[in-house]
Amino acid sequence: MMDKDLLNGIRVADLTHYRSGPSGTSLLGGLGADVVKVEAVQRIDGFRVFNTLDPKDPHFYEMGSYFNGCNTNKRGLTLDLNSTKGKEQFFKLIKKSDVVIDNFSTHVMDKLDLGYERLKEINPELIMVSMTCFGQTGPWRDYVGFGYVFDQIGGASAVTGYQDGPPAHISAASDVVSGIMAVYAIVLALEERERSGQGQHIDLSQVETLAFLMGPNIIECQTAGNIQSRMGNKHPIFAPHNAYPCEGEDEWVTISVESDQQWSALAMAMGKAEWISDERFATSLSRKNNEHDLDEAISKWTRGQKKRTVMELVQSLGIASGAVLNGMELLDDPHLKERNMHKKLKRKYTGEHHYPQFPIHFSNGICEQRRAAPTLGQDNEEILADLLGLTSQEIEDLRKEKVIGTHPL
Protein backbone atom coordinates (compact mmCIF):
# COMPACT_ATOMS: atom_id res chain seq x y z
CA MET A 1 0.00 0.00 0.00
CA MET A 2 1.36 3.40 -0.97
CA ASP A 3 1.70 6.12 1.64
CA LYS A 4 -0.93 8.83 1.43
CA ASP A 5 -0.72 12.60 1.19
CA LEU A 6 -3.16 13.09 4.04
CA LEU A 7 -4.19 16.62 2.99
CA ASN A 8 -4.06 16.02 -0.74
CA GLY A 9 -6.52 18.32 -2.52
CA ILE A 10 -6.60 20.88 0.29
CA ARG A 11 -5.42 24.37 -0.64
CA VAL A 12 -4.35 26.99 1.91
CA ALA A 13 -4.03 30.70 1.17
CA ASP A 14 -1.33 31.68 3.66
CA LEU A 15 -1.12 35.36 4.61
CA THR A 16 0.92 34.77 7.75
CA HIS A 17 4.28 36.39 8.45
CA TYR A 18 7.09 35.81 10.92
CA ARG A 19 6.83 32.49 12.80
CA SER A 20 3.51 31.68 14.44
CA GLY A 21 1.47 31.15 11.28
CA PRO A 22 4.27 30.05 8.94
CA SER A 23 5.39 27.23 11.25
CA GLY A 24 1.85 25.84 11.16
CA THR A 25 1.29 26.21 7.43
CA SER A 26 4.66 24.56 6.80
CA LEU A 27 3.29 21.50 8.61
CA LEU A 28 0.11 21.61 6.51
CA GLY A 29 2.31 21.58 3.41
CA GLY A 30 4.29 18.68 4.85
CA LEU A 31 1.02 16.76 5.12
CA GLY A 32 0.30 17.31 1.43
CA ALA A 33 -1.73 20.53 1.31
CA ASP A 34 -1.06 23.05 -1.46
CA VAL A 35 0.03 26.05 0.60
CA VAL A 36 0.24 29.33 -1.32
CA LYS A 37 2.23 31.89 0.66
CA VAL A 38 1.02 35.37 -0.27
CA GLU A 39 3.32 38.35 0.25
CA ALA A 40 3.57 41.75 -1.42
CA VAL A 41 6.64 43.43 -2.86
CA GLN A 42 5.41 46.44 -0.88
CA ARG A 43 5.40 44.38 2.34
CA ILE A 44 7.45 41.20 2.48
CA ASP A 45 7.46 38.73 5.36
CA GLY A 46 9.59 40.39 8.06
CA PHE A 47 11.39 37.12 8.75
CA ARG A 48 13.03 37.37 5.34
CA VAL A 49 15.35 40.04 6.75
CA PHE A 50 15.57 38.76 10.32
CA ASN A 51 18.93 37.28 11.26
CA THR A 52 20.21 37.47 7.68
CA LEU A 53 23.67 36.14 6.98
CA ASP A 54 24.92 39.23 5.14
CA PRO A 55 22.79 42.40 4.94
CA LYS A 56 25.01 43.64 2.10
CA ASP A 57 24.01 40.71 -0.12
CA PRO A 58 21.79 41.99 -2.98
CA HIS A 59 19.41 39.14 -2.20
CA PHE A 60 19.56 39.65 1.56
CA TYR A 61 15.79 39.24 1.77
CA GLU A 62 16.23 35.59 0.77
CA MET A 63 18.86 34.80 3.39
CA GLY A 64 16.95 34.96 6.67
CA SER A 65 17.51 31.71 8.55
CA TYR A 66 14.20 31.96 10.40
CA PHE A 67 12.29 32.52 7.18
CA ASN A 68 13.99 29.60 5.50
CA GLY A 69 13.36 27.38 8.50
CA CYS A 70 9.60 27.88 8.88
CA ASN A 71 8.37 28.42 5.32
CA THR A 72 9.13 25.08 3.73
CA ASN A 73 6.52 23.20 1.68
CA LYS A 74 4.90 26.28 0.12
CA ARG A 75 4.51 27.99 -3.21
CA GLY A 76 5.26 31.71 -3.27
CA LEU A 77 2.93 34.35 -4.72
CA THR A 78 3.17 38.14 -4.52
CA LEU A 79 0.03 40.29 -4.63
CA ASP A 80 -0.52 43.88 -3.60
CA LEU A 81 -3.73 43.45 -1.60
CA ASN A 82 -4.17 47.21 -1.37
CA SER A 83 -4.71 47.37 -5.11
CA THR A 84 -7.92 46.54 -6.95
CA LYS A 85 -6.18 44.11 -9.29
CA GLY A 86 -4.37 42.44 -6.41
CA LYS A 87 -7.68 41.89 -4.63
CA GLU A 88 -9.23 40.49 -7.81
CA GLN A 89 -6.58 37.79 -8.03
CA PHE A 90 -6.78 37.08 -4.32
CA PHE A 91 -10.56 36.59 -4.59
CA LYS A 92 -9.91 34.09 -7.40
CA LEU A 93 -7.47 32.28 -5.13
CA ILE A 94 -10.00 32.23 -2.29
CA LYS A 95 -12.61 30.72 -4.58
CA LYS A 96 -10.22 27.83 -5.21
CA SER A 97 -9.02 27.48 -1.60
CA ASP A 98 -10.22 25.56 1.43
CA VAL A 99 -8.45 27.61 4.10
CA VAL A 100 -7.21 31.17 4.48
CA ILE A 101 -5.05 32.06 7.45
CA ASP A 102 -3.55 35.34 8.64
CA ASN A 103 -1.79 36.61 11.75
CA PHE A 104 -2.38 40.33 11.23
CA SER A 105 -3.73 42.58 13.95
CA THR A 106 -7.51 42.53 14.44
CA HIS A 107 -8.76 45.08 11.89
CA VAL A 108 -6.33 44.55 9.00
CA MET A 109 -8.36 42.03 7.01
CA ASP A 110 -11.58 44.03 7.34
CA LYS A 111 -9.82 47.24 6.28
CA LEU A 112 -8.57 45.42 3.18
CA ASP A 113 -12.13 44.25 2.53
CA LEU A 114 -10.89 40.70 3.13
CA GLY A 115 -12.75 39.93 6.36
CA TYR A 116 -14.60 36.67 6.89
CA GLU A 117 -18.03 38.02 5.96
CA ARG A 118 -16.66 39.22 2.62
CA LEU A 119 -14.67 36.09 1.84
CA LYS A 120 -17.44 33.66 2.67
CA GLU A 121 -19.59 35.40 0.06
CA ILE A 122 -17.01 34.25 -2.46
CA ASN A 123 -16.53 30.79 -0.94
CA PRO A 124 -19.17 29.69 1.62
CA GLU A 125 -17.15 26.57 2.44
CA LEU A 126 -14.03 28.58 3.32
CA ILE A 127 -12.35 28.05 6.67
CA MET A 128 -10.70 31.23 7.91
CA VAL A 129 -8.19 31.33 10.75
CA SER A 130 -7.42 34.69 12.37
CA MET A 131 -4.32 34.37 14.54
CA THR A 132 -4.43 37.70 16.33
CA CYS A 133 -2.42 38.57 19.40
CA PHE A 134 -5.26 38.73 21.92
CA GLY A 135 -8.31 37.51 20.00
CA GLN A 136 -11.22 39.14 18.21
CA THR A 137 -12.95 40.31 21.40
CA GLY A 138 -12.01 41.81 24.76
CA PRO A 139 -10.41 45.08 25.88
CA TRP A 140 -7.01 44.16 24.39
CA ARG A 141 -8.34 43.06 20.98
CA ASP A 142 -6.68 46.00 19.17
CA TYR A 143 -3.24 45.58 20.74
CA VAL A 144 -0.38 44.15 18.69
CA GLY A 145 2.50 42.06 19.93
CA PHE A 146 5.11 39.41 19.24
CA GLY A 147 6.05 36.11 20.85
CA TYR A 148 8.26 37.72 23.48
CA VAL A 149 5.24 39.71 24.68
CA PHE A 150 3.11 36.57 24.84
CA ASP A 151 5.77 34.85 26.98
CA GLN A 152 5.14 37.49 29.64
CA ILE A 153 1.39 37.96 29.40
CA GLY A 154 0.75 34.24 28.91
CA GLY A 155 2.37 33.46 32.25
CA ALA A 156 5.35 31.43 31.04
CA SER A 157 8.01 33.99 31.93
CA ALA A 158 6.83 34.13 35.53
CA VAL A 159 8.02 30.56 36.05
CA THR A 160 11.08 30.76 33.77
CA GLY A 161 14.48 31.82 35.06
CA TYR A 162 16.60 31.36 38.17
CA GLN A 163 15.28 31.57 41.69
CA ASP A 164 16.98 34.85 42.56
CA GLY A 165 16.76 36.33 39.06
CA PRO A 166 14.17 38.15 36.98
CA PRO A 167 11.58 36.45 34.75
CA ALA A 168 13.08 35.17 31.49
CA HIS A 169 11.56 34.73 28.06
CA ILE A 170 11.29 31.28 26.48
CA SER A 171 12.35 32.25 22.95
CA ALA A 172 8.81 33.07 21.86
CA ALA A 173 7.65 29.46 22.26
CA SER A 174 4.08 30.71 21.87
CA ASP A 175 4.80 31.17 18.15
CA VAL A 176 5.25 27.46 17.55
CA VAL A 177 2.48 26.51 19.97
CA SER A 178 0.09 28.84 18.13
CA GLY A 179 1.10 27.34 14.78
CA ILE A 180 0.39 23.82 16.00
CA MET A 181 -2.93 24.95 17.53
CA ALA A 182 -3.88 26.47 14.18
CA VAL A 183 -3.17 23.18 12.39
CA TYR A 184 -5.26 21.32 14.97
CA ALA A 185 -8.15 23.76 14.53
CA ILE A 186 -7.95 23.58 10.72
CA VAL A 187 -8.01 19.78 10.65
CA LEU A 188 -11.04 19.73 12.97
CA ALA A 189 -12.81 22.37 10.89
CA LEU A 190 -12.14 20.40 7.70
CA GLU A 191 -13.65 17.32 9.32
CA GLU A 192 -16.71 19.30 10.42
CA ARG A 193 -17.07 20.66 6.90
CA GLU A 194 -17.23 17.09 5.63
CA ARG A 195 -20.33 16.60 7.77
CA SER A 196 -22.03 19.98 7.42
CA GLY A 197 -20.72 21.36 4.13
CA GLN A 198 -20.09 24.67 5.92
CA GLY A 199 -16.92 26.62 6.50
CA GLN A 200 -16.31 28.72 9.61
CA HIS A 201 -14.21 31.47 11.17
CA ILE A 202 -11.64 30.41 13.78
CA ASP A 203 -10.67 33.07 16.34
CA LEU A 204 -7.25 32.04 17.69
CA SER A 205 -5.61 34.18 20.38
CA GLN A 206 -1.86 33.64 20.41
CA VAL A 207 -1.46 34.72 24.03
CA GLU A 208 -4.17 32.27 25.07
CA THR A 209 -2.41 29.36 23.39
CA LEU A 210 0.45 29.88 25.82
CA ALA A 211 -1.74 30.67 28.84
CA PHE A 212 -3.55 27.38 28.09
CA LEU A 213 -0.33 25.48 28.86
CA MET A 214 -0.16 27.10 32.29
CA GLY A 215 -3.15 25.06 33.49
CA PRO A 216 -1.31 23.14 36.26
CA ASN A 217 0.10 26.38 37.70
CA ILE A 218 -3.34 28.00 37.68
CA ILE A 219 -4.95 24.99 39.38
CA GLU A 220 -2.18 24.79 42.01
CA CYS A 221 -2.68 28.46 42.82
CA GLN A 222 -6.41 27.97 43.29
CA THR A 223 -6.32 24.69 45.21
CA ALA A 224 -3.21 25.13 47.36
CA GLY A 225 -2.66 28.87 47.29
CA ASN A 226 0.87 28.36 45.93
CA ILE A 227 2.36 30.51 43.21
CA GLN A 228 5.16 28.52 41.64
CA SER A 229 8.48 30.34 41.88
CA ARG A 230 11.27 30.28 39.34
CA MET A 231 13.60 27.32 39.84
CA GLY A 232 16.03 27.45 36.95
CA ASN A 233 16.96 23.83 36.19
CA LYS A 234 16.00 22.58 39.64
CA HIS A 235 13.15 20.28 40.59
CA PRO A 236 10.67 20.81 43.45
CA ILE A 237 11.70 17.49 45.05
CA PHE A 238 14.62 15.77 43.34
CA ALA A 239 18.31 16.62 43.85
CA PRO A 240 20.67 16.58 42.11
CA HIS A 241 18.67 17.92 39.18
CA ASN A 242 20.66 20.39 37.11
CA ALA A 243 22.91 21.07 34.13
CA TYR A 244 26.60 20.62 34.94
CA PRO A 245 29.66 22.03 33.12
CA CYS A 246 31.87 19.67 31.13
CA GLU A 247 35.16 19.81 29.28
CA GLY A 248 35.25 22.61 26.71
CA GLU A 249 33.56 25.96 26.36
CA ASP A 250 29.84 26.06 27.07
CA GLU A 251 29.56 22.27 27.20
CA TRP A 252 26.98 20.83 29.60
CA VAL A 253 25.31 17.64 30.72
CA THR A 254 22.08 17.23 32.68
CA ILE A 255 21.67 14.76 35.55
CA SER A 256 18.47 13.97 37.45
CA VAL A 257 18.50 11.65 40.47
CA GLU A 258 15.11 10.46 41.70
CA SER A 259 15.91 8.01 44.52
CA ASP A 260 18.45 7.08 47.21
CA GLN A 261 19.34 3.99 45.16
CA GLN A 262 20.22 6.13 42.15
CA TRP A 263 22.20 8.50 44.34
CA SER A 264 24.26 5.60 45.71
CA ALA A 265 25.04 4.41 42.18
CA LEU A 266 26.08 7.91 41.09
CA ALA A 267 28.24 8.49 44.16
CA MET A 268 30.06 5.20 43.53
CA ALA A 269 30.60 6.09 39.86
CA MET A 270 32.09 9.44 40.88
CA GLY A 271 34.47 7.67 43.25
CA LYS A 272 32.79 9.28 46.25
CA ALA A 273 31.37 6.29 48.15
CA GLU A 274 31.54 8.33 51.37
CA TRP A 275 28.84 10.64 50.04
CA ILE A 276 26.29 7.82 50.33
CA SER A 277 26.35 8.13 54.13
CA ASP A 278 27.31 11.83 54.30
CA GLU A 279 24.54 13.46 56.34
CA ARG A 280 24.34 16.30 53.79
CA PHE A 281 23.48 13.90 50.96
CA ALA A 282 22.23 10.66 52.52
CA THR A 283 18.51 11.22 51.97
CA SER A 284 16.33 12.91 49.38
CA LEU A 285 15.44 15.65 51.87
CA SER A 286 19.03 16.29 52.93
CA ARG A 287 20.19 16.43 49.32
CA LYS A 288 17.49 18.97 48.54
CA ASN A 289 18.38 21.05 51.59
CA ASN A 290 22.06 21.04 50.60
CA GLU A 291 21.51 21.34 46.86
CA HIS A 292 24.01 24.15 46.34
CA ASP A 293 26.88 22.17 47.89
CA LEU A 294 25.76 19.08 45.98
CA ASP A 295 25.78 20.89 42.63
CA GLU A 296 29.23 22.29 43.31
CA ALA A 297 30.56 18.84 44.15
CA ILE A 298 29.13 17.22 41.03
CA SER A 299 30.39 20.09 38.86
CA LYS A 300 33.96 19.38 39.99
CA TRP A 301 33.52 15.81 38.74
CA THR A 302 31.92 16.66 35.38
CA ARG A 303 34.22 19.58 34.50
CA GLY A 304 37.10 17.44 33.34
CA GLN A 305 35.04 15.06 31.19
CA LYS A 306 33.31 15.14 27.83
CA LYS A 307 29.56 15.57 28.09
CA ARG A 308 28.67 12.45 26.10
CA THR A 309 31.02 10.37 28.24
CA VAL A 310 29.24 11.55 31.39
CA MET A 311 25.83 11.06 29.80
CA GLU A 312 26.53 7.48 28.72
CA LEU A 313 28.00 6.55 32.10
CA VAL A 314 25.13 8.05 34.09
CA GLN A 315 22.52 6.53 31.77
CA SER A 316 24.14 3.11 32.21
CA LEU A 317 23.36 3.43 35.93
CA GLY A 318 19.65 3.84 35.16
CA ILE A 319 19.75 7.58 35.90
CA ALA A 320 18.27 10.24 33.59
CA SER A 321 21.00 12.21 31.86
CA GLY A 322 21.42 14.06 28.61
CA ALA A 323 24.19 15.98 26.86
CA VAL A 324 23.10 19.53 26.02
CA LEU A 325 23.34 19.63 22.21
CA ASN A 326 23.69 22.70 20.02
CA GLY A 327 22.31 23.01 16.49
CA MET A 328 25.29 21.45 14.69
CA GLU A 329 25.43 18.58 17.16
CA LEU A 330 21.79 17.78 16.41
CA LEU A 331 22.82 17.13 12.80
CA ASP A 332 25.47 14.64 13.96
CA ASP A 333 23.51 12.89 16.69
CA PRO A 334 23.52 9.14 15.89
CA HIS A 335 20.00 8.56 17.18
CA LEU A 336 18.52 11.40 15.11
CA LYS A 337 20.48 10.19 12.08
CA GLU A 338 18.99 6.73 12.47
CA ARG A 339 15.54 8.33 12.63
CA ASN A 340 16.23 10.41 9.48
CA MET A 341 15.43 13.53 11.46
CA HIS A 342 17.01 15.86 8.90
CA LYS A 343 16.50 16.10 5.17
CA LYS A 344 18.52 17.96 2.53
CA LEU A 345 16.67 20.63 0.58
CA LYS A 346 18.18 22.83 -2.13
CA ARG A 347 17.16 26.46 -2.58
CA LYS A 348 18.23 29.24 -4.90
CA TYR A 349 20.52 31.79 -3.22
CA THR A 350 20.97 29.79 0.01
CA GLY A 351 22.08 26.47 -1.47
CA GLU A 352 21.59 22.98 -0.06
CA HIS A 353 21.11 22.47 3.66
CA HIS A 354 19.67 20.02 6.17
CA TYR A 355 16.19 20.86 7.47
CA PRO A 356 14.53 19.27 10.52
CA GLN A 357 11.84 16.80 9.57
CA PHE A 358 8.45 16.84 11.32
CA PRO A 359 8.41 14.52 14.37
CA ILE A 360 5.35 12.65 13.06
CA HIS A 361 5.60 9.20 11.49
CA PHE A 362 2.42 7.71 10.04
CA SER A 363 2.21 4.02 9.17
CA ASN A 364 0.18 4.96 6.09
CA GLY A 365 0.71 8.64 5.49
CA ILE A 366 3.32 11.21 4.51
CA CYS A 367 4.50 14.06 6.71
CA GLU A 368 7.82 15.38 5.52
CA GLN A 369 9.80 18.34 4.29
CA ARG A 370 9.01 18.48 0.57
CA ARG A 371 10.49 21.72 -0.75
CA ALA A 372 12.54 24.64 0.49
CA ALA A 373 10.97 28.00 1.32
CA PRO A 374 9.91 29.92 -1.80
CA THR A 375 11.92 32.85 -3.01
CA LEU A 376 9.89 36.05 -3.26
CA GLY A 377 7.24 35.60 -5.94
CA GLN A 378 8.85 32.34 -7.04
CA ASP A 379 5.63 30.77 -8.30
CA ASN A 380 3.81 33.85 -9.60
CA GLU A 381 3.49 32.64 -13.20
CA GLU A 382 2.60 29.08 -12.26
CA ILE A 383 -0.17 30.12 -9.85
CA LEU A 384 -1.55 33.02 -11.88
CA ALA A 385 -1.56 31.14 -15.18
CA ASP A 386 -2.27 27.53 -14.28
CA LEU A 387 -4.49 28.05 -11.23
CA LEU A 388 -6.12 31.42 -11.79
CA GLY A 389 -6.22 31.36 -15.60
CA LEU A 390 -4.36 34.58 -16.49
CA THR A 391 -2.69 35.10 -19.85
CA SER A 392 0.99 35.97 -20.23
CA GLN A 393 0.03 39.55 -21.11
CA GLU A 394 -2.20 39.89 -18.05
CA ILE A 395 0.63 38.64 -15.85
CA GLU A 396 3.05 41.08 -17.48
CA ASP A 397 0.59 43.94 -16.87
CA LEU A 398 0.41 43.01 -13.17
CA ARG A 399 4.19 43.02 -13.03
CA LYS A 400 4.44 46.45 -14.67
CA GLU A 401 1.88 47.86 -12.23
CA LYS A 402 3.84 46.30 -9.32
CA VAL A 403 0.86 44.21 -8.25
CA ILE A 404 3.28 41.28 -8.41
CA GLY A 405 7.06 41.05 -8.42
CA THR A 406 10.12 39.20 -7.25
CA HIS A 407 12.04 42.03 -5.57
CA PRO A 408 10.89 44.07 -2.57
CA LEU A 409 10.24 47.76 -3.14
117 and 84 housed in the same domain: yes
User: What integer is the mean pLDDT of 232-246?
Assistant: 95
In a domain, 225, yes or no: no
What CATH number is given to the structural domain containing 309? 3.30.1540.10
Q: Is the pLDDT of residue 80 over 70?
A: yes
- Provide the sign of the torsion angle of the four alpha carbons 284, 288, 294, 299, taken in this order: positive
In a domain, 118, yes or no: yes
In a domain, 290, yes or no: yes
In the chain, how many domains are there? 2
130 and 279 housed in the same domain: no
In a domain, 73, yes or no: yes
22 and 83 housed in the same domain: yes
43 and 147 housed in the same domain: yes
Which domain, by its residues, includes 104?
A: 11-213+340-400
Q: In what order do the strands lie in the sheet with 127-132?
A: 74-78, 34-39, 11-14, 99-102, 127-132, 200-205
Q: Is the pLDDT of residue 4 over 70?
A: yes
Q: For residue 54, what pLDDT band results from cuts at 50, 70 and 90?
A: confident
29 and 103 housed in the same domain: yes
- Burial category of 191 from C-beta neighbours within 10 Å (exposed 0-12, middle 13-18, buried 19 and up): exposed
In a domain, 83, yes or no: yes
In a domain, 227, yes or no: no
In a domain, 20, yes or no: yes
pLDDT of residue 228: 83
181 and 86 housed in the same domain: yes
274 and 192 housed in the same domain: no
372 and 277 housed in the same domain: no
Q: Which of 310, 331, 352 is the last residue of a domain?
A: 331
Q: For residue 169, what pLDDT band results from cuts at 50, 70 and 90?
A: confident
Q: Which of 287, 313, 331 is the last residue of a domain?
A: 331
121 and 257 housed in the same domain: no
198 and 261 housed in the same domain: no
In a domain, 386, yes or no: yes
Per-residue burial over 368-390, b = 16 or more CB atoms within 10 Å of its CB, e = otherwise: bbbebbbbbbbbbbebbeebbeb
pLDDT tens digits for 375-406?
A: 999 999 999 999 999 999 999 999 999 999 99
> What is the model's pTM?
0.93
What CATH number is given to the structural domain containing 137? 3.40.50.10540
21 and 154 housed in the same domain: yes
User: What integer is the mean pLDDT of 336-348?
Assistant: 96
Q: Which of 295, 312, 331 is the last residue of a domain?
A: 331
318 and 181 housed in the same domain: no
